[in-house]
Structure 1
């Protein structure tokens, strides 16, 4: 189970990492395994769609059972399939890095983190830092 305490620490550490990297205002969403929002923060100055993008990145990872880095690679090879997925997901399928599965120490998926605000690789780096700060296993997927 992904606790509120752990999810809150993931968000705070992801934002701390973003500040250390001097990134623009960031948005971080943590979802539990059901896809329900557990913790969320949007820094002052974050642009309008960042909330939806961060949540969609986390939701995409959960929905497909793999990090959005892997989804990006698959989308490049199967664009028609991902167009259909986007339609089914009502636009909430975002196959770019920044959506990372969260696994328990035993390897079970317990949630996902989505980060938006900068380039996808930097978004993902913030998500990874947040997850690792609470001794959970980050699973961004492999390209």
Structure 2
């Protein structure tokens, strides 16, 4: 089971809408399928030129490690040498800070969303709101939802 283009576009649009409601800085949102392939991406006017890579790195790292990027960031702070090894092994593709959230539906991993543009905590707020808006559950930590 994988996230559809229709679901991914709805998720991206819901995340951007939440960012506007909360008056966050311009966001970039990417949705990846379970294999790490992009399904949808939008970058708001004024969102920095590196934001697509950062958002993708948050989502891709979450998929690669099987846990949300918030958890990866907490682990990186506790065990920096593992984080350095992870960065080397991934060719620098992993961004271990909040804003990369795994997407679950009916007990199945559907993909991941990554958001970059505001603070990482605010990026994650938009990700979780958007995941809920499409009827799915977000995973920010190590434990998949029941």
**What TM bracket, shorter-length normalisation?**
over 0.9
2:91 is matched with 90
2:114 is matched with 114
Instruction: Give 5+ residue unaligned stretches, structure 1.
Output: none
Q: Measure, in 1, the Cα distance between the counterparts of 2:71 and 2:134.
A: 23
Q: Measure, in 2, the Cα distance between the counterparts of 1:108 and 1:83.
A: 30
Instruction: Give 5+ residue unaligned stretches, structure 2.
Output: none
Moved beyond 6 Å, runs of 4+: none
Q: Measure, in 1, the Cα distance between the counterparts of 2:77 and 2:24.
A: 27
Q: Per-residue CA shift, 1:46-68, capped at 9, x if unaligned?
A: 11110100000000100000001
Equivalent pairs, count: 141
2:26 is matched with 25
TM-score (norm 1): 0.96
TM-score (norm 2): 0.94
* Offset at residue 120 of structure 1 (A): 0.6
Q: Per-residue CA shift, 1:59-85, capped at 9, x if unaligned?
A: 010000000111111111110011011
Q: Per-residue CA shift, 1:6-33, capped at 9, x if unaligned?
A: 0000000000000001011100000000
- Aligned alpha-carbon RMSD (Å): 0.9
Q: Measure, in 1, the Cα distance between the counterparts of 2:74 and 2:28.
A: 24
**Counterpart of 1:53 in 2: which secondary structure?**
helix
1:16 is matched with 17
Q: Measure, in 2, the Cα distance between the counterparts of 1:108 and 1:81.
A: 28
